[in-house]
Structure 1
């Protein structure tokens, strides 16, 4: 399965209880909307949904700070 903006946004809203509006460029971690515990859940979602392994060296704000960056990162790993 592919990670899309829609299914990742739904995961964040439903599973991570994010009430704030999220668009593809919303900064998730650098603004404090999500924390390091949430990061672990997001990584699990990415690995399970995209069927990829996220390497620790890839867990950066460049790859994970917005929905669009996460979608782009997952696509680059497939």
Structure 2
């Protein structure tokens, strides 16, 4: 299974209640839009959409701080 940027943005708006404008480069964690509690839900969403398991060592800002980074990381799963 795959995960698109559009699916990620929809998830962030609907499930994480982000009302600010979000695009591929919006910093999600560095800017404070999301926190560590939000990360748990995001990881669960990614795992459900991709059918893969996110390893703890992969949970970094490099992989998770923007929609573009998350989508790129998701392509490496599975």
TM range (shorter): over 0.9
Runs of 4+ off more than 4 Å? none
Cα distance in 1, alignment partners of residues 75 and 46 from structure 2: 10
* Pairwise CA distance, 1:2: 1.1
> Unaligned regions of 5+ residues in structure 2, if any?
none
Cα distance in 2, alignment partners of residues 16 and 49 from structure 1: 16
CA RMSD of aligned residues (A): 0.7
| 1:59 match | 59
> Unaligned regions of 5+ residues in structure 1, if any?
none
Cα distance in 2, alignment partners of residues 8 and 59 from structure 1: 16
The alignment of Structure 1 onto Structure 2 pairs a total of residues equal to 78
